[in-house]
């Protein structure tokens, strides 16, 4: 696989420390509110990356943290504590807020077919690990105490900025909100490893440490959790592009200073989903969620499809019109798959050829729009339906669009409607489940007010020599 590496600013051949094994780390959500669909764009693309790596034969160990402590409203250690802010807003304890929004996050992931990482670790569960790392950093002179806090001394590094090809806008994300000078810092890029009670008297969660009762800074959690579950050599680190600075920059600084050797060579950053008005942000309080999409009648997978259609290194602009287009394309695709007959033997040579092409194309910097095109190409392939279904099922191991399951459900529904006679929508015809499925799909499209799709299906049927007549309570079709 070739993957763009934001640490080297180049597309490179993907390599791992141990052949065949990928140690992969993902920055998890800050659980003080629901995830917005922008956050979920990052998790969808990281999910596709993980599934692609498995598809390509790697054994993947994917680790993710849950930020339930230490993340202040500015990524640069100033402002209010995000978890406290959530707790105050809802009059609950920090732990209640964390539990509620962690569950909500995984519910959203489930609806979007995002696999749960192999290890999910709340930040509050690894305090001893952070203390061990910070102690060594203090002992070796990489960290210092000032005003009750422990800071990382960025001047001790030969090179601090790693991801400096990002837009100024992205670079500034962390320092834009709540700019507030911290006079304890010796250098502007120094960051907090451990806060003591001197910072927030009302901090709900605090732990004893060699530097006083307090709590960890945000950046240390990802280094600590990754080293615990991925080991000393991480192969691939993922996150949204706003995480590159200062969060990932600081993770590298402290991890390499602690370990004394390079830590993670490959960095995967997903660019943002914006709404037409600009940045989507949880802290603004008004944002789009998966539940909202569902309330408006969208299948969450239509949003996944929308994300897959564009490249992860391009900013994506959300609009309802764009989502409608993706939803219509997804429905159309399912209808076409439902019309395939699951009969005959799979042509293994054709299957292998399509699989190999998919592996190559998608392996070019996770080209998901090519993956989408590959499904349509498979539908047009000069082979039997059983082979097409097998190929599509194979691609869906990476895409996770429930293509075969949903298409099978459509066929089933069509068959039931025909058999039941007294059901909601009765189709009478000449006993061909493929045609029944299309007639039903036309009805579903009309019900969803997707008239363009309904007309398209009618025209497709017409081209097959099928005439459909709407009758009371259903439709009748015949070959003409």
- When asked if residue 98 is in the footprint of ligand AMP (CB under 6 A), the reply is no
By CB under 5 A, the count of residues binding Zn ion is: 2
Binding window for ligand AMP (CB under 6 A); candidates: 240-248, 299-307, 349-357, 465-473:
240-248
CB of 39 to ligand AMP, least distance (A): 4
For residue 203, the partner it binds in ligand AMP, Zn ion, none, with Cβ less than 5 to 8 A by kind, is none
CB of 353 to ligand AMP, least distance (A): 35
- When asked if residue 41 is in the footprint of ligand AMP (CB under 6 A), the reply is yes
Residue among 248, 189, 195 at smallest CA distance from 222: 248
Query: Among residues 272, 336, 413, 458, which is the contact residue for ligand AMP, using CB under 6 A?
Result: 272
- The conformation of residue 167, written as its DSSP 8-state character, comes to -
* x/- map, 200-239, ligand AMP, by CB under 6 A: ---------------------------------------x
Query: Among residues 273, 337, 371, 403, which is the contact residue for ligand AMP, using CB under 6 A?
Result: 273
Query: Among residues 137, 280, 334, 372, which is the contact residue for ligand AMP, using CB under 6 A?
Result: 280
Query: Among residues 3, 29, 138, 163, which is the contact residue for ligand AMP, using CB under 6 A?
Result: 29
Residue nearer to ligand AMP on the CB measure, 30 or 209: 30
Q: Are 22 and 16 in contact (CB under 8 A)?
A: yes
- When asked if residue 31 is in the footprint of Zn ion (CB under 5 A), the reply is no
- When asked if residue 166 is in the footprint of ligand AMP (CB under 6 A), the reply is no
Residue nearer to ligand AMP on the CB measure, 274 or 384: 274
CA gap 82, 71 in Å, rounded: 6
Number of residues written out for the chain: 480
- When asked if residue 240 is in the footprint of ligand AMP (CB under 6 A), the reply is yes
Query: Among residues 5, 6, 16, 30, which is the contact residue for ligand AMP, using CB under 6 A?
Result: 30
Query: Among residues 6, 42, 223, 226, which is the contact residue for ligand AMP, using CB under 6 A?
Result: 42
Residue nearer to ligand AMP on the CB measure, 216 or 239: 239
CA gap 323, 302 in Å, rounded: 7
Residue nearer to ligand AMP on the CB measure, 162 or 270: 270
CB of 218 to ligand AMP, least distance (A): 9
CB of 217 to Zn ion, least distance (A): 11
CB of 226 to Zn ion, least distance (A): 8
Residue nearer to ligand AMP on the CB measure, 108 or 190: 108
- When asked if residue 445 is in the footprint of Zn ion (CB under 5 A), the reply is no
CB of 247 to ligand AMP, least distance (A): 8
Using CB atoms, what's the residue nearest to ligand AMP? Answer: 240
For residue 135, the partner it binds in Zn ion, ligand AMP, none, with Cβ less than 5 to 8 A by kind, is none
Q: Token pair for residue 91?
A: 């009059």
For residue 222, the partner it binds in Zn ion, ligand AMP, none, with Cβ less than 5 to 8 A by kind, is Zn ion
Binding to Zn ion (CB under 5 A) within 357-416 occurs at: none
CA gap 160, 170 in Å, rounded: 17
In sequence order, which residues have a C-beta less than 8 Å from that of residue 70 and are 6 or more positions away? 81, 123, 195, 215, 216, 217, 218, 220, 221
For residue 30, the partner it binds in ligand AMP, Zn ion, none, with Cβ less than 5 to 8 A by kind, is ligand AMP
Using H for helix, E for strand and C for coil, what is the string for the chain?
CEEEECCCCEEEECCCCCCCEEEEEECCCECCCCCCHHHHHHHHHHHHHHHHHHHCCCEEEEEEEEECCCCECCCCCCCCEHHHHHHHHHCCCHHHHHHHHHHHHHHHHHHCCCCCCCEEEEHHHHHHHHHHHHHHHHHCCCEEEECCEEEECHHHCCCCCCCCCCCHHHHHHHHHCCCCCCCCCCCCCCEEEEEECCCCCCCCCCECCCCCCEEECHHHHHHHHHHHHHCCCCCEEEEEHHHHHHHHHHHHHHHHHHHCCCCCCEEEEECCEEECCEECCCCCCCCCCHHHHHHCCCCHHHHHHHHHCCCCCCCEECCHHHHHHHHHHHHHHHHHHHCCCCCCCCCHHHHHHHHHHHHHHHCECCCHHHHHHHHHHHHHCCCCHHHHHHHHHHHHHHHCCCHHHHHHHHHHHHHHHHHHCCCCCEEECCCCHHHHHHHHHHHHHHHCCCHHHHHHHHHHHHHCCEEEEEECCEEEEEEC
CB of 47 to Zn ion, least distance (A): 17
Binding window for Zn ion (CB under 5 A); candidates: 33-41, 214-222, 395-403, 436-444:
214-222
Query: Among residues 1, 24, 27, 439, which is the contact residue for Zn ion, using CB under 5 A?
Result: 27
Q: 21-26 and 278-279 as β-strands: parallel, antiparallel, unpaired?
A: unpaired
- When asked if residue 154 is in the footprint of ligand AMP (CB under 6 A), the reply is no
By CB under 6 A, the count of residues binding ligand AMP is: 17
> Which positions lie near ligand AMP, rule CB under 6 A?
27, 29-30, 38-39, 41-42, 67, 239-240, 242-243, 270, 272-273, 280, 282
> Which positions lie near Zn ion, rule CB under 5 A?
27, 222
């Amino acid at each position: 696989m070739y993957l763009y590496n934001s640490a080297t600013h180049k597309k490179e051949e993907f390599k791992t420390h141990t052949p065949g094994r990928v140690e992969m780390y993902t920055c998890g959500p800050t659980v003080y509110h629901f995830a917005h669909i922008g956050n979920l764009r990052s998790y969808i693309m990281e999910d596709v990356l993980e599934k692609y790596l498995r598809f390509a034969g790697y054994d993947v160990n994917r680790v993710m943290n849950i930020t339930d402590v230490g993340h202040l409203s500015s990524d640069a250690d100033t402002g209010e504590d995000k978890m406290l802010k959530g707790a105050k807003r809802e009059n609950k304890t920090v732990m209640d807020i964390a539990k509620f929004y962690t569950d909500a996050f995984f519910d959203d992931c489930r609806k979007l077919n995002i696999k749960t990482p192999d290890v999910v670790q709340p930040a509050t569960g690894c305090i001893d690990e952070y203390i061990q790392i910070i102690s060594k950093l203090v002992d070796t002179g990489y960290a210092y105490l000032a005003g009750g806090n422990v800071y990382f001394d960025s001047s001790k590094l030969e090179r601090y900025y790693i991801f400096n090809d990002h837009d100024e806008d992205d670079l500034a994300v962390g320092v834009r909100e709540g700019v507030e000078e911290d006079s304890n810092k010796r250098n502007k890029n120094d960051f907090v490893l451990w806060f003591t009670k001197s910072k927030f008297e009302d901090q709900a969660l605090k732990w004893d440490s060699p530097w006083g009762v307090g709590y960890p800074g945000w950046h240390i959690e990802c280094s600590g959790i990754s080293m615990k579950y991925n080991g000393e050599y991480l192969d691939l680190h993922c996150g949204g592009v706003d995480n590159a600075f200062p969060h990932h920059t600081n993770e590298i600084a402290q991890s390499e200073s602690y370990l004394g050797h390079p830590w993670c060579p490959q960095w995967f950053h997903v660019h943002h989903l914006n709404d037409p008005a600009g940045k989507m942000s949880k802290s603004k309080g008004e944002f789009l969620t998966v539940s909202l999409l569902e309330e408006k009648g969208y299948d969450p997978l239509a949003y996944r499809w929308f994300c897959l259609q564009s490249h992860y290194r391009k900013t994506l602009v959300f609009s309802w019109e764009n989502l409608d287009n993706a939803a219509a394309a997804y429905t159309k695709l399912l209808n076409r798959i439902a019309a395939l007959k699951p009969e005959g033997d799979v042509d293994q040579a054709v299957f292998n050829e399509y699989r190999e092409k998919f592996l190559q194309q998608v392996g070019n910097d996770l080209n998901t729009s090519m993956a989408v095109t590959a499904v349509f190409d498979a539908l047009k392939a000069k082979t039997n339906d059983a082979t097409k279904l097998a190929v599509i099922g194979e691609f869906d191991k990476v895409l996770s669009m429930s293509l075969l399951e949903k298409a099978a459900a459509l066929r089933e529904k069509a068959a039931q409607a025909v058999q039941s006679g007294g059901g909601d929508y009765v189709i009478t015809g000449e006993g061909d489940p493929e045609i029944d499925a299309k007639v039903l799909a036309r009805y579903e499209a009309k019900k969803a007010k997707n008239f363009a799709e309904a007309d398209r299906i009618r025209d497709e049927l017409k081209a097959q020599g099928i005439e459909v007549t709407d009758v009371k309570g259903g439709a009748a079709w015949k070959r003409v």
